[in-house]
Structure 1
Amino acid sequence: MSDFTPGQRFISDGEAELGLGTVLNCDARSVTILFSASQETRTYNTRQAPLTRVAFGAGDSVLAADGWQMTVSESQEHRGLITYYGEDAEGTACELPETKLADTMQFNQARDRLLTGQVDRNDWFDLRFRTLHHYQRIEQHAALGFGGPRIDLIPHQLFIADEVARRHAPRVLLADEVGLGKTIEAGLILHRLLMTGRASRALILVPDSLTHQWLVELLRRFSLEVTLLDETQSQAHGEHNPFESAQLILASQGWLFANAARQAQALESRFDLLIVDEVHHLDWSVEEGGGAGYRCVEQLAGQIAGLLLLTATPEQMGLESHFARLRLLDAERYHDIARFKQEESHYAEVASAIEALETLPATRDAVAAVADDPDSQMLLATLCDAAASDEQKAQAREQLQNALLDRHGTGRVMFRNSRRHVGGFPERRLHQSELELPSAYRRVQRRVERDEDYLDELLIETGMDHPDVLIYPDATYRALSEDPLNGEPWWQIDPRVNWLLEKLADTGEDGLAGDKVLVIAHHRETAEGLSEALRVLGGYHAPVFHEGLSLIERDRAAAAFADEEDGSQVLVCSEIGSEGRNFQFCRHLVMFDLPQHPDQLEQRIGRLDRIGQRHAIELHVPMFAASPGARLARWYHEGMRAFGAPTGVGSELFDAFGDDLADALLDDEALDEIITDTRALFETKLAEREAGRNRLLELNACRPHRASAVIEAVRELDDDTALPRYVERALDVFGVDSQEIGAGLVHLKPGSHMLDGLPGLVKGEEGFSATYRRETALARDDVHRLSWEHPLVREMMGRVLDGTMGNTALALLRHPAIPSGRLMAELVFRTHCPAPRALHLNRFLPPTAVRVLLDESGANLTASISFTGLSKNLQKVNKSLARDLIKSRLEPLRGLLAQGEQEAETSLPGLVDAARARMREQLDGELDRLRALARHNPAVRSEEIEALERERQALEEALAATRLRLDAVRVVITVDPNA
């Protein structure tokens, strides 16, 4: 006879997600089960049916089909069907036949799964406990969010990322000089905020030419998959808002700024962070307000709490332009440009006071004039106290310096590191070559020199601006191409082309043969013509990179240049090639002509002169003797040492002398006077900046002690020996094959039984190579770097902790000292605190394991038998036997579960108290600091203090609501070791 009766309730051992099934009919051979919740019907062989009868006991909570809940006190079986008796939520006595149980009941919790006979593999349980342990440890680690990215550990970048990512809804301007890694800083901040839950959605706006570079960098360095949104992608979403299509949206500034409808959709979306690159291109003035781009960013910045603005030239358009950037960060703080200028005038005094800390007590008055609050005065007194120890003075000096940096200037909202401050950059070498002006160019120049009116005619005839018509003779030649004398392409008559061909073929010390060469010209047409000339006259494949190409075409050109083995030797760029792109693998820059603005010149050089450049930068500048271009080069070289190193004062010099310089490009005597005046102002401005705000910014943009602490924390994670052991266990459980291939590399590929949905691993494909070593990953873009933050590791940990994998198990213990047939229950409880992710509660109390080991007599063996000690002596059991063993010991198991919960609860107050103490220590200290800063530095927003106060209160409430819940349970049954 069959053991099945219609109406009985079962669950499928292999498909628990089907829900609660009901026996429809049965005979001696088969049984048919309806799983109503999933609309599935299954027929099984009665002798081998992978089914478990659902039977609840006293204390269990069950759900009725019509929605009410009942706590079972007892049950009775009649003709094969069970009726449960107990109380509903109001305490009213009630009964519930098993036929009326809710079909949607899921048995995901460890207790339910265990008591219904659902058990997992023993190694799964082991992995679950270890996952919980490592997750708790990593979530509290100081380097969380910084350990995974594929970056060099550069102090100023990590300091800025750590400082900014600590803040509630950070709003800052990242203004490091070209090549110091603003994109990496922004990526680190974004990655940290995402990892900690401080942000979940971000909108990234970059110039058209940089969209694919950002896309690749975020994926390659930070393993962040972003959606690149353009008009085609937007239209594909139909009436739906395309900005809601992904968590991370990357968009072209040009596209969004020109499209009012798309701007409205972006404003309707809820983002936590806005990142805007090359922000100096946004136009704003006191008289006229902002241009289309500025107004768009201003609206978005008004709605999005977090804001990162990026620019290498914060004052490219002058102090007013810089003020405009700061307005976006905090319109209330930066509303009066006259007041802003007055504040700037005091920075030299503050910088001098900080420098004077090294020469106390002789310079006490200089420091006291700035350190005028009681706390600073106490620190100053310690520094001047002869009885104070060296250690006390060192601590006081550091605290006072930090206080002065915090309380004065824009250092809290603007971070700017200079090459001089960071150090370690290569030498720049200038190679100027004078060439003879060709006759076609010379005729135009001489006529302009003889006839002042001809310049006006030339401007009208060519449609060009002054002084472009003089500086770029090839462009003038092209504009005059209707002249019968100008029938040849410009590149056939321009000596610079032959000069470049000779340099590329020259194998001598000054030649470029065999080396990568980046060539930049001002105009797109010049770049296109030069690429054609190199192909026709020299047989060179020289990809061209300009604003007229599609993004894919630009990326293809850059990739062809970057390829070391089969790539092209030369890449020819228009001016757009000097923004954002990183060509540090190259050391030769040919400036076919020169830009008018010093900041554009520095941006060109900055494509090669970046952190990580291992060679001296060779700057090659061909010029025509006694030409306007040669005179411009003289102004750069002699007036401001522009080819030598970034100074940050080029914009002010151009504002002061740009118009006069344009008029002097045909007059050597006038040029000499301008160069003399430029050099004098250059020296003055440089001294002012080094003494004033720039010095303050440099001191504040990288505090060595803090930076060293962050780097040490990251290296601690890099050297974590637990990571490889954990990953190997997890890969084995998830069915991923791992093979060592030498040189610190492993190759991961899908196994025959791999679980679906693992990042980078698709069944039937080859997988990928990976390393745990940071240095190896930096040297090889084709190799993944495995870390606690790698998407594959995070996915495996998430699947374990968020699902049911391994939350039940049964194992046998063979031990001569323990009688056979004894029952033990290993219970793993987990702290649970329902709080918004944005609170980042995990830094104080991440999900924490509480382990309790009980034997059937009720003895607590937790302290005497460790998890590892027990695990290594256990033996696995097949599932059918495991289910039978559990069914036979249901009642004692229920008792051990209840007792284990009581035992675990005794640990909870201590965990919560420790977390509360950590929270108060950190947040109370930060609140005190911000409140003190706000009295001196208006850059500290009141909203920031209020948000931190609300956060503290919310954390107090969340911690108070912390509870323990059973996360996993393993049943251990002892057997005779001789059996």
Structure 2
Amino acid sequence: MRFIPGQRWLSETEMEQGLGIVSQLQGRMVTVLFPVTGEFRQYAIADAPLARYQLLVDEQGQHGDGWHFRVNQVDEHNGVLTYHGVREDSDESVTVPEAQLAAQVATNHPLTRILAGKVDRLDMYQLRLQAHHHLSAWQTSPAAGLIGARAELLPHQLYIAATVADRHHPRVLLADEVGLGKTIEAGLIMQRRLLTGRSERVLIVVPDSLAHQWLVELLRRFNLRFSLFDTERCEQAALDGGAVFASEQLVVIPQSLLSHPMWSAELLEVDWDLLIIDEAHQIAPQDQRFALVQQLCEQISSVLLLTATPEQAGLEAHFARLQLLDPDRFDSFEKFKSDQANYKALAPQAEALASSGDNSTLDELLDSYGTGRVMFRNSRAHIGGFPERRVQMTALEAGDALTRRFAWLVNLLKENKQNKFVLICRSAEMVLALHEMLRIQHGIHAAVFHEGLSLIERDRAAAFFASPEDGCPLLLCSEIGSEGRNFQFAQHLILFDLPRHPDLLEQRIGRLDRIGQQDEITIHVPVVEGTPEQVLFAWYNAMNAFTQTNGIGANLHQQFAEQVNVLIDELDTGDFDLDQLEDLVEDTQEASQVLRAEVDAGRDRLQELNAFRPHQIAQLLETITEIEQASELESFMVSFWARFGIEFDRLNEDSGWLRPSEQMRVPMEGLPDEGITVTFSREYALTHEDVAYLSWDHPLVQQALELLTNDTYGSTAVGLMQNRALPAGAWFIELHFSSFAMAPKQLVMSEFYPRHSFRVLLDSNGRDLTDKVAAGVLDKQLQFIDKKQARQLLKQLRSACQKAIQTAWKPAELGQQQQLEQARHHVKEAMSSQQQRLINLRERNPLVRDSEIEAVALRQQGLLEALEQPVLQLDSVRVIVNMSA
């Protein structure tokens, strides 16, 4: 090597030092200054680990002042280079001595690594190519974000998630009946929007009693780490200065925070792009919190409201919630009532189309249906697959009600020691009283669940009850136990008292009667003569509220609540008339028959058909099935773990133990030091909640894809082959170029133009063999080569490789242009079709917002503009040398 002061060299062992400059020669030693770090290094001239850095014609260089130029000519004088070219920002002709080059070079660039002799193993190179393939497939898949939930992916849930998630700014009411999975639907929508970039900052408002459960479920089911902002957290955040909620992207708050004079105002200081409100019916229009919710809905572009009982507080309250979603369209309550009544006439026609299989005509009809675009409500009858309900009423003699019911409870527990019972009553005081009476008088231990407990204490109580080994036979819940918690592993529900509203009764029963329940449910009701339960049981039984889902409960409550309350009051005054109770029962039976007939014939059937259109989800279901049946993910991740120093020991056919080793290359978020158990099987994950379920959506998998596609791992490699048909010393260079278009995340460019990879294969004479030698063909012929030998080979081929890389840009650019043209066509076709559909739909359904149509046009414009400025970069290089046999 000939060193001259002023020359630029790369350190083969310290690439992070940047570009060095020869500053002094003294005897057999050379001194190099590295301006990036300001450090000097001395090397023995004979074996200095340095690589000469020089630009070729048509390559891009960077001046020390930061501007870039394109090289047109290279002159050499006394061993020092001078570059002549054109400055890229002004087209000005420039002359740049190599000493004036910028010291910062792209040390992660494959060319720089080749020049410095940096190589990875062949299997790391191949793993990098696999990662590019898998990432591109995931980015363009309609299943991205919908496959990673630890949940049985049910068609009706996937339909709603897929329909809502991809809207520009979804504003919908998820109102499936109790037990059909509204939380899963909301989670799927949110996960797809977060993973595809449609949403970034999410606010979830939940009942106080469910706040911790939401945090746990979001992490356990969707691997989403939300932060809970209660009063204490807000106070701490305020001490740190700035907007209270600005420190986190994903936030859960309890409903009570909406009433706080200071923290509620802070919610409006952050640019949330997705708002989710669980149990939205709990925030009534007359509630002071409703005004804040209205402000949030006006400010936040995407809104999901969740409630299983949208009309619990009456049709007017339901209308007020629809106004939160679209105040322009829902501007007249009288018109809303009239429209809803008119839709009943469409039900027979829709039913006939559904039965005949005329899906296109059915879709057109359903698209015309009023609230169908903003409200999704599936019913159990429509979805099917639920167990039978059975009610066991025990009549108890008049007397002290607590004493009578308690004696009955103890006897029930003793006669059914093998069963688990969930008991729900009205108040926390009753829960505590029963707990003490059972423990002290009979030595029976029960878990308790009420609003006086902290969130962690409630979770512990639920876990104690659920444990098959150490659990207790009875869980005592106050009314909050009837909302949000799922106990489908139990089959016995005790209604120690009865609520005054049918929807509350349905919510209580829904804690057991929900998706996942495999067995018949028995509802135990002790009725003491002369107590409110005598009236309430007879009334609920008359409307079949115990044995059927009760979608008409709110209407019946509106008709008969006053009559029911009068009868209950008369029990206290001694004026109770049994004949009046029989009249109430008879009237309720007649009214419920009429209402159920109306529901069956009218609006609810339209909602069911609209909330789940099986023919529209068939292709997605097929795609997900193919993804889950393939073994590609497991094969890829096992290879990744092996190369990155993460130990994986199989525990059985479906799971393994994953833990970091001392040789782990990079820290992996979500992988604790003690390790975790993982599975690639959804079925196994559903029955083993302590096992992490890995899918293409999982953070550990996404980290692996990101590392291998964005970092330098596997970007350069050298392989040896022995092919007698080729002369010894013949060599090839295989290059992969990466192409992507930069656009705002909300445009989701990857759906039309994911990160593309273009392969170019050249031989030592510069001939393009890409089309003649398919990718992967050479892999089977290649042999391992150690890094020292690989570095020696690269030293001999540096200049030739640099010229070959320069040659390869043209075919890569051609491949990019072909893909860009296809992407432009796809964008225009898809966006135009989507826009025209919305325009046609708006003619039939005024709930299609103008902003939705404008958003499609703006997205098309933004995508096309981004496609005009793609980024093409060299991603990986493999040099293959043929050796004699």
Residue 659 of structure 1 is matched in structure 2 by: 562
In the other structure, the counterpart of 1:334 is 330
Residue 254 of structure 1 deviates from its aligned partner by 1.0
Tell me the CA shift for residue 12 of structure 1: 4.4
1:740 aligns with 2:650: yes
CA distance in 1, matches of 2:110, 2:745: 25
Moved more, 876-885 or 421-430: 876-885
Partners of 2:93 and 2:370 lie apart in 1 by 71
Partner of 2:605: 695
CA distance in 1, matches of 2:41, 2:210: 55
What residue ranges of structure 2 are gaps of 5+ in the alignment?
none
Measure the CA separation in 1 of the matches of 2:2 and 2:404.
Answer: 98
Q: How far, CA to CA, are the matches of 2:299 and 2:595 in structure 1?
A: 38
State the shift of 1:559 in Å.
Answer: 1.5
Query: Contact (CA 8 Å) 1:230, 1:251: kept in 2 or not?
Result: yes
Contact 1:409 1:693 (C-alpha < 8 Å) held by counterparts: no
1:495 to 377, 381, 404: 404
Q: Is residue 352–residue 691 contact of structure 1 (8 Å, CA) maintained in 2?
A: yes
Question: Sequence identity of aligned pairs in percent?
Answer: 43
Q: 1:933 to 1:973 in 2, by over 3 A?
A: same
Indicate the residue corresponding to 1:447 in structure 2. none
How many Å separate the matches in 2 of 1:427 and 1:809? 63
Change (3 A) 1:93 1:140: closer
Following superposition, the deviation at residue 412 of structure 1 comes to: 0.9
Pairing partner for 1:811 from 719, 723, 728: 719
Q: Distance in 1 between matches of 2:859 and 2:820?
A: 17
What's 1:645 paired with?
A: 548
The 5 Å alignment of 1:541-940 reads: 541-638=445-542, 640-665=543-568, 666=571, 667=576, 668-762=578-672, 765-940=673-848
TM value normalised by structure 2: 0.94
Give 1:263 shift. 2.8
Q: Secondary structure at 1:593's aligned position in 2?
A: coil
What is aligned with 1:222?
A: 222
Q: Answer yes or no: is the 8 Å Cα contact 2:669–2:700 preserved in 1.
A: yes
Query: Residue 528 of structure 1 contacts residue 544 of structure 1 at CA under 8 Å; is this kept in 2?
Result: yes
Letter aligned with residue 370 of structure 2: G
Q: Residue 372 of structure 2 aligns to a residue in which SS? A: coil
1:908 counterpart letter in structure 2: Q
Q: Which residue type is aligned with residue 138 of structure 1?
A: W
1:647, 1:686 within 8 Å by CA — same for their partners in 2?
no
**What do the CA deviations read for 1:102-131 (whole angstroms, capped 9, x no partner)?**
333333332333334333332222111111
- Aligned ranges 1:63-74 → 2 under 5 Å: 63-73=62-72
User: Which whole-Å deviations, capped at 9, do the CAs of 1:200-219 have from their partners, x for residues lacking one?
Assistant: 22111111111111111111
Looking at structure 2, the residues matched to 556 and 26 of structure 1 have their Cα atoms a distance apart, in angstroms, of 73
Contact 1:20–1:106 (8 Å) recurs in 2: no
Q: Quote the offset at 1:696 in angstroms.
A: 0.4
Maintained 8 Å contact 2:5/2:23: yes
The 1:23/1:244 distance shift into structure 2, 3 A limit, reads farther
Query: Residue 38 and residue 258 in structure 1: after superposition, are their counterparts in 2 closer, same or farther (change >3 A)?
Result: farther
SS of the residue 2:56 aligns to: coil
Which residue is 1:307 aligned to?
Answer: 303
Letter in 2 for 1:663: V
Give 1:7 shift: 6.2
Show CA shifts across 1:20-51 (max 9, x none).
34567787898776655457777778887655
Report the CA distance between 1:291 and its aligned residue.
2.5
| In 2: Cα distance, 1:29 partner to 1:742 partner | 62
Question: 2:799 & 2:40 partners in 1: Cα distance?
Answer: 32
CA contact (8 A) 1:119 1:879 kept: yes
Structure 1 residue identity aligned to 2:378: N
Question: Is 1:130 paired with 2:130?
Answer: yes
Deviations 1:871-923 (A, max 9, x none): 22223333344334333323332332232111223323332233233333433
SS in 2 for 1:544: strand
- What RMSD in Å do the two structures reach over aligned CA positions? 2.5
For residues 730-782 of structure 1, what are the alpha-carbon distances to aligned partners after superposition, in whole Å with 9 as ceiling and x for unaligned? 222222222222232222222331122213324xx332222222111111112
Question: Contact 2:172/2:375 (CA < 8 Å) preserved in 1?
Answer: yes
CA shift in 2, pair 1:671/1:268, >3 Å = same
Counterpart residue number, 2:119: 119
Q: Which moved more, 1:888-897 or 1:723-732?
A: 888-897
Corresponding position: 1:417 with 2:378: yes
Distance 1:91 1:934, change over 3 A: closer
Secondary structure at the residue paired with 1:323?
helix
Match of 2:320 among 321, 324, 347: 324
**Distance in 2 separating the partners of 1:869 and 1:328:** 60
Give the conservation status (yes or no) of the 8 Å contact 1:25–1:33: yes
Tell me by how many angstroms 1:420 deviates: 0.8
The match for 2:255 among 253, 256, 265 is 253
Which position in structure 2 is the counterpart of 1:149?
A: 149
Asked if 1 retains the 8 angstrom alpha-carbon contact of 2:359 and 2:615, the reply is: no
Matched, 1:189 2:189: yes
Matches within 5 A, 1:940-951: 940-951=848-859
Q: Could you tell me how far apart the structure 2 residues matched to 1:520 and 1:431 are?
A: 15
Conservation of the 8 A alpha-carbon contact between 1:412 and 1:939: yes
- Partners of 1:340 and 1:974 in 2: CA distance: 78
Q: Which moved more, 1:674-683 or 1:602-611?
A: 674-683
**How far apart, CA to CA, are the structure 1 residues paired with 2:735 and 2:840?**
48
Displacement, 1:269?
Answer: 1.5
Residue 197 of structure 1 and its aligned partner are, at CA, apart by 1.6
Query: Does the CA-based 8 Å contact 2:535-2:564 persist in structure 1?
Result: no
Structure 2: which amino acid aligns with 1:406? D
Q: Which residue of 2 aligns with 1:454?
A: none
Counterparts of 2:303 and 2:264, CA distance in 1: 17
1:594/1:633 contact within 8 Å kept: yes
Shift of 1:271: 1.8
Residue by residue over 1:44-95, the C-alpha shift from the partner in whole angstroms, topping out at 9 and shown as x without a partner, is 7888765544333333323222223333455566777655444433454444
- What SS is found at the alignment partner of 1:350? helix
The one-letter code sitting in structure 2 at the alignment partner of 1:58 is V
Change (3 A) 1:101 1:678: same
CA contact (8 A) 1:55 1:116 kept: no
Deviation at 1:857, TM superposition (A): 1.6
Name the SS for the 1:411 alignment partner: helix
Q: Is the CA contact 2:482–2:507 (under 8 Å) kept in the aligned structure 1?
A: yes
Are residues 28 and 295 of structure 1, via their aligned partners in 2, closer, same or farther at CA, if it must alter by over 3 Å?
Answer: farther
Alignment correspondent of 1:372: none
Aligned to 1:451: none
Change (3 A) 1:892 1:358: closer
Distance apart, 1:854 and its partner CA: 0.8
- Matching residue of 1:379: none
Give aligned pairs, total: 875
DSSP-derived class of the 1:582 partner: coil
CA shift in 2, pair 1:643/1:40, >3 Å:
farther
**In 1, Cα distance between the equivalents of 2:173 and 2:691?**
33
- Deviation of 1:864 after TM superposition, in Å, equals 2.4
Give the aligned residue type for 1:271: W
Q: Deviations over 1:692-749 (max 9, x none)?
A: 1111000111112123332222111101232222222222222222222223222222
Unaligned runs of 5+ in 1: 285-289, 360-393, 442-472, 475-493, 507-511
Q: Offset of 1:808 from its aligned partner?
A: 2.0
Give 1:476-495 correspondences, 5 Å limit: 494-495=403-404
Equivalent residue for 1:291?
287
Distance 1:743 1:610 in 2: 30
How far off its partner does 1:934 sit?
0.5
* CA gap 1:329/1:33 in 2 versus in 1, 3 angstroms: farther
1:349 matches 2:345: yes
Q: 1:851 to 1:608 in 2, by over 3 A?
A: same
